[in-house]
């Protein structure tokens, strides 16, 4: 057998020299196998030639004809304008960037085949910068397969990349060795296409497959590769879990004096959901292997109390706890709560963030290293190199989706360097759809708090156009007159934190002028931690009636007297984030309202998304709709989640595969563990370290 394509250099292919090799490496292609698994983003239909008279504006189409004129035009921008005529009429080809050689190649009388997007021009149909070739250089008949469009990089154009990948596909079609790592029994059991057929179909789909893998219709080639990709991601996360299961963790005893003392101070009884979740966590903490558990619960379900109970198990056993939150405002809120709960029990609660400086920082680090600080609360700074724990036994991560896989692994590495394998509890108030839980969190056990504390009232959600802003401001005034409190949340199209903060400052000033009888406060991400803490404390103490804020208040803020929230430009946010923000009201017995103040006109997708918010207060339903409408990348944030950047799999479209993928992963790990590394290398490439931590 010839050398396998997974180890063969692209330099074997015609036209691939050192310079091109370097460009390919820049997008992760170092072998012919990598070329084969560099999958198209979409397809273009160049299988037919359309007459000029049948051109349709807004569509990409292919035409053939003769250049009847070609001239420079001068106006706001210099352009090269050519007229292309066929038997039915003519259209304009326009180039704003062109060379002298290109101008010569478009001489009058030249017969061309062109492809591009049809637009309205001053003299009829126009194509801007179309792809073109002289008819003398193309086959008489158009391609009988769709044309793939690949992810590329600067200096690597589509035609060249298509040519190189086409050569790689020819090798596979010609029976060169592309190894199928899926066991035969898996391929047979789940009726999967062969790898060779899948590769050929994905890179050269027939004309009747237009739409690629975005369509719901069955697509054997796409489905085979999506199955393999989902399987690989699950295997990599399962390996993380198996590695953890092979480690030794401290065992914590059951209910103790600290827990009994804490429960006796609570002004409420735990809900059934809280008790069940803590029972599952307690069972994990009593075992000699590290707990890896995800605690889900809707906004206001009481996850923090369960986290506190878990922390007391570790502290009573003589271990330290680290509690990490994604934002300073949430971390500060946790620090306040845990000090109120734990200091009466004789437990020292510390605080640490990246903005903490000088003597206080040094003293805090010293107390953590000595073990005097029993629970340290803060942001991701808790796991920077300078932080050394005396005896870390439990890591609690709040709002897990805001950190993602990489940070979870960083915690594990930090723990390994201390020769202690702490338990990990990760929490989210953004309910995770089953499809995401099975894919992104396959290395975690799952607990759900499925009920809210008694006395909570559902929030009434209204969708209001910004044209009625005056009415909304009057409603704020009425609410504050009735001794209730309100939020006004500012968002922008631009994600710049600076601009968002500026928008909040301007809005706060305007509202203060329009509502002189209302005490207006302001909080945003660029304020000093002490300033934010002071404003939040004043709002909680009812010294501020209306709090204007950016989305920094998305999680963790608990002011039961607040009963009205206005969210500007809600169409810019995901459903899960809107649900989180809305969860800041309705935390007491007062009837609460959330006004989504949108900017007209609202797109069809925008109307559908905001309609979901009006219809439901169920976080799990909202999370499913968010996944359906936006996809996993935006729901979780692909920049942070690493493993969720699928090339071909789609968790909405391929949800029905996930149970089969789970079964296949169990079979591969037990019967064919030797193929896991090869699959991970094929699909994750440079991310292979995820499977080796």
Domain ranges for the chain, please list them. 48-142, 180-246+658-693, 257-449, 460-616
Residue 8's φ and ψ, nearest 5 degrees, are -90, 130
Residue 199's pLDDT is 92
Average pLDDT along the chain: 85
The whole-number average pLDDT for the span 608-615 is 92
Q: What is the mean pLDDT of residues 56-69?
A: 94
The pLDDT, as a whole number, for residue 689 is 43
How far does Cα 646 stand from its chain's mean position? 11
Q: What was the pLDDT predicted at 686?
A: 56
Model pLDDT, residue 494:
45
Which pLDDT score is estimated for 555?
A: 53
What are the pLDDT digits (tens) for 540-589? 899 999 999 887 775 556 788 889 999 998 988 888 888 888 988 887 77
Q: Which two tokens stand for residue 535?
A: 């404003």
| 285/423 Cα distance (integer angstroms) | 7
Residue 634 CA to residue 639 CA, distance in Å, equals 9
- Alpha-helical (H) ranges within 97-157 are 100-105
CATH class of 460-616: alpha beta
pLDDT in the model for residue 638 = 40
Which pair of tokens denotes residue 107? 């001489």
Say what angle helices 158-173 and 195-203 make with each other, to 10 degrees.
150
pLDDT of residue 556: 55
- What residues pair up with 595 in beta bridges, in sequence order? 462, 566
What is the Cα 328 distance to its own chain's centre? 21
pLDDT at position 693:
33
β-strand partners of 147: 44
Structure confidence at residue 401 (pLDDT):
54
CATH 3.90.78.10, applies to 257-449: no
Whole-angstrom CA distances from 149 to 132, 418, 644, 672 are 16, 48, 22, 35
Mean pLDDT, residues 597-605: 87
pLDDT at 633: 56
| 654 confidence band (pLDDT: 50, 70, 90) | confident
Lowest mean pLDDT among 52-61, 406-415, 498-507: 406-415
DSSP 548-576: EE-GGGSSS---TTEEEEEEESGGGS-HH
**Separation between Cα atoms, residue 193 and residue 562, nearest integer Å:** 57
pLDDT at residue 57 is higher than 60: yes
Cβ 316 vs Cβ 258: under 8 Å: yes
648 pLDDT higher than 70: yes
Helix and strand totals (H; E) in the chain: 24, 21
Q: Sign of the CA dihedral 34, 409, 362, 532?
A: positive
Q: Which range is least confidently modeled, 464-473, 486-495, 617-626?
A: 486-495
Q: Which residue has the higher pLDDT, 99 or 75?
A: 99
Peptide bond into 601 cis (omega under 30): yes
pLDDT band at 496 (very low <50, low <70, confident <90, very high): low
- Could you tell me the two tokens for 593? 């309202």
Residue 6: pLDDT band by 50, 70, 90 thresholds?
confident
215 band by pLDDT with thresholds 50, 70 and 90: low
pTM above 0.75, yes or no: no
Q: What is the pLDDT of residue 408?
A: 61
Query: Chain-centre distance of CA 692, in angstroms?
Result: 23
Query: pLDDT class for 690, splitting at 50, 70, 90?
Result: very low
Give CATH superfamily name and number for 48-142.
Answer: Nucleic acid-binding proteins (2.40.50.140)
Residue 278 · residue 425 · CB < 8 Å = no
Lowest mean per-residue pLDDT among 258-272, 352-366, 484-498, 605-619: 484-498
DSSP 270: P
Provide, rounded to the nearest whole percent, the portion of the chain with pLDDT above 90.
45
Residue-level pLDDT at 627: 77
Quick check: do 257-449 and 460-616 share a fold?
A: yes
Tell me the β-bridge partners of 445.
293
DSSP state at residue 647: S
Q: The tokens 């090798």 sit on which residue?
A: 171
- Does position 348 have pLDDT exceeding 80, yes or no? yes
Question: Residue 509 pLDDT > 80, yes or no?
Answer: yes
Tell me which DSSP letter residue 636 carries.
I
Mean pLDDT along residues 504-533: 88
Q: Give the pLDDT confidence of 310-347 residue by residue, as tens digits.
A: 999 999 999 999 999 887 878 888 998 899 999 999 99
pLDDT category at 691 given cuts 50, 70, 90 is very low
Torsion on CA atoms 338, 343, 348, 354, rounded to nearest 10: 40
Q: What are the φ/ψ torsions at residue 68 (nearest 5 degrees)?
A: -105, -15
Among 30-39, 182-191, 682-691, the minimum mean pLDDT is found in 682-691
pLDDT reading at 127 higher than 60:
yes
How much is the pLDDT for 74?
87
Residue 76 vs residue 671, higher pLDDT = 671
Tokens of 387: 């932080």
Sheet with 485-489, side-by-side order of all strands: 460-465, 593-598, 562-568, 485-489, 546-549, 520-523
pLDDT in tens, 290-304: 998 989 887 778 899
Query: How far is 559 from 548, CA to CA, in rounded Å?
Result: 14
* pLDDT for 10 beyond 50: yes
């Amino acid at each position: 057998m010839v050398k396998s394509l997974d180890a063969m250099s692209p330099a074997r292919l015609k036209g691939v020299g050192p310079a091109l090799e370097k460009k390919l490496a820049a997008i992760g292609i170092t072998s012919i196998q990598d070329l084969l698994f560099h999958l198209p983003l979409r397809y273009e239909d160049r299988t037919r030639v359309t007459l000029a008279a049948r051109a349709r504006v807004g569509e990409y189409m292919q035409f053939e004809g003769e250049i009847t004129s070609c001239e420079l035009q001068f106006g706001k921008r210099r352009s090269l304008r050519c007229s292309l005529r066929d038997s039915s009429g003519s259209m304009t080809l326009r180039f704003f960037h062109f060379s002298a050689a290109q101008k010569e190649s478009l001489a009058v009388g030249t017969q061309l085949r062109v492809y591009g997007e049809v637009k309205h021009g001053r003299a009829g149909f126009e194509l801007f910068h179309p792809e073109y070739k002289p008819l003398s250089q193309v086959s008489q008949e158009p391609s009988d397969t769709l044309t793939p469009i690949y992810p590329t990089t600067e200096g690597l154009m589509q035609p060249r990349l298509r040519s190189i990948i086409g050569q790689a596909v020819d090798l596979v079609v010609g029976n060169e060795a592309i190894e199928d790592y899926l066991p035969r029994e898996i391929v047979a059991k789940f009726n999967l296409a062969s790898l060779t057929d899948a590769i050929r179909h994905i890179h050269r789909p027939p004309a009747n497959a237009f739409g690629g893998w975005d369509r719901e219709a069955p697509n054997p080639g796409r489905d085979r590769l999506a199955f393999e990709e989902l399987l690989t991601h699950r295997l990599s996360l399962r390996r993380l879990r198996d590695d953890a299961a092979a480690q030794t963790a401290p065992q914590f005893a059951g209910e103790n004096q600290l827990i009994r003392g804490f429960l006796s101070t609570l002004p409420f009884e735990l809900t059934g959901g809280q008790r069940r979740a803590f029972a599952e966590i307690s069972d994990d903490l009593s075992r000699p292997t590290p707990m890896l558990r995800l605690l889900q619960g809707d906004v206001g379900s009481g996850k923090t109390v369960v986290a506190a109970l878990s922390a007391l198990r570790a502290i009573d056993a003589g271990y330290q706890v680290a509690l990490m939150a994604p934002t300073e405002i949430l971390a500060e809120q946790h620090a306040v709560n845990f000090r109120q709960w734990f200091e009466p029990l004789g437990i020292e609660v510390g605080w640490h963030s990246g903005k903490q400086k000088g003597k206080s920082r040094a003293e805090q680090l010293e107390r953590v290293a000595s073990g005097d600080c029993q629970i340290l609360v803060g942001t991701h700074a808790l796991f920077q190199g300078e932080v050394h724990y005396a005896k870390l036994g439990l890591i609690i991560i709040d709002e897990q989706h805001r950190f993602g896989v990489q940070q979870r692994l960083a915690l594990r590495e930090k723990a390994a360097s201390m020769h202690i394998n702490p338990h990990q509890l990760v929490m989210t108030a953004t309910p995770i759809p089953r499809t995401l839980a099975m894919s992104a969190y396959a290395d975690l056990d799952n607990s759900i708090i499925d009920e809210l504390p008694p006395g909570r009232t559902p929030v009434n959600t209204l969708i209001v156009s910004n044209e009625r802003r005056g009415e909304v401001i009057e409603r704020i005034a009425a609410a504050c007159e009735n001794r209730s409190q309100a939020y006004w949340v500012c968002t922008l199209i631009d994600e710049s934190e600076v601009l968002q903060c500026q928008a909040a400052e301007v809005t706060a000033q305007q509202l203060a002028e329009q509502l002189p009888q209302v005490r207006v406060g302001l909080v945003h991400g660029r304020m000093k931690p002490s300033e934010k803490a002071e404003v939040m404390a004043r709002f909680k103490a009812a010294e501020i009636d209306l709090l204007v804020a950016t989305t920094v208040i998305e999680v963790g803020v608990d002011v039961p007297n607040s009963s009205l929230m206005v969210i500007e430009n809600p169409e810019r946010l995901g459903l899960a984030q809107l649900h989180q923000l809305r969860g800041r009201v309705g935390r007491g017995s007062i009837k609460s309202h959330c006004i989504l103040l949108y900017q007209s006109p609202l797109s069809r997708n925008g109307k559908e998304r905001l309609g979901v918010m009006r219809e439901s207060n169920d976080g799990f339903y909202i999370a499913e709709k968010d996944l359906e409408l936006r996809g996993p990348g935006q729901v979780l944030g692909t920049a942070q989640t690493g493993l969720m950047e699928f090339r071909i799999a789609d968790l909405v479209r391929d949800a029905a595969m996930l149970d089969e993928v789970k079964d296949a992963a169990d079979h591969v790990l037990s019967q064919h563990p030797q193929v896991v590394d090869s699959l991970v290398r094929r699909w994750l490439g440079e991310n292979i370290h995820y499977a080796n931590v």
